[in-house]
Amino acid sequence: MDEATRAKLAGSAGWLVGIAACTIINIVFVITNNDTRLVLGAFAVDVAAYIYNKYAGGSSELKMIVTGLMGIIVAGVYFGLSKQAAKGQLWALIVGFVLYGFDMLVCLLAPSWLTIGIHAWALYSLFGSIMACARMGKNDATKTPEATQGSKDDNSPPEQPTI
């Protein structure tokens, strides 16, 4: 894998970690009824809080548990995807791109130019890494020809040509 592709993968993994970290911080904001949000975070926490408030009502403790669990699950998914993306797994980049694309659609319901801009920039970065991996023509960008054919021991005797 060349250095440019490696750098794109590291950048995309960084975006996915940032999304996860901002989502965790947004959990605290939602639970404390604070209207502040980090625009990079996933809006699944807000969606869970909205659905809870609209249909469940109930106690604020239950709201904290529901939105907290939803946020932790979403953040965990993004953290896991970042680990796989850093290893060059194309599927992780695609899943992260699709999930954050859906998140962008949620942003469009209550448009904020800053939120839309940050989401678009992150999606553009993820797409660049997807294209870099696709150009390599491999599902796993870290595979080498030796890894796919099986590596040989340095101490093994040379192969004899068959007649």
Ranges of each domain in the chain: 3-138
Structure confidence at residue 139 (pLDDT): 44
Structure confidence at residue 64 (pLDDT): 83
Q: What is the mean pLDDT of each run of 10 residues along the chain (163 residues)?
A: 80 92 92 87 85 76 85 95 90 94 88 89 92 70 46 52 56
Structure confidence at residue 160 (pLDDT): 57
**3-state DSSP assignment of residue 89:** strand
Q: Which residues of 15-38 are buried (b: 16+ CB within 10 A; e: fewer)?
A: bbbbbbbbbbbbbebbbeeeeebb
Structure confidence at residue 161 (pLDDT): 53
Q: What is the dihedral of CA 125, 129, 131, 137, to 10 degrees?
A: 180
Structure confidence at residue 159 (pLDDT): 60
CA 33/CA 98 separation, integer angstroms: 29
- Do the beta carbons of residue 54 and residue 66 sit within 8 Å? no
- The pTM of the full predicted model, rounded to 2 decimals, is 0.77
- Do the beta carbons of residue 136 and residue 1 sit within 8 Å? yes
Angle (CA) 88-93-95 rounded to 5° is 140
Structure confidence at residue 101 (pLDDT): 94
Name every residue whose Cβ is closer than 8 Å to that of residue 32 and which is 6 or more positions away in sequence: none
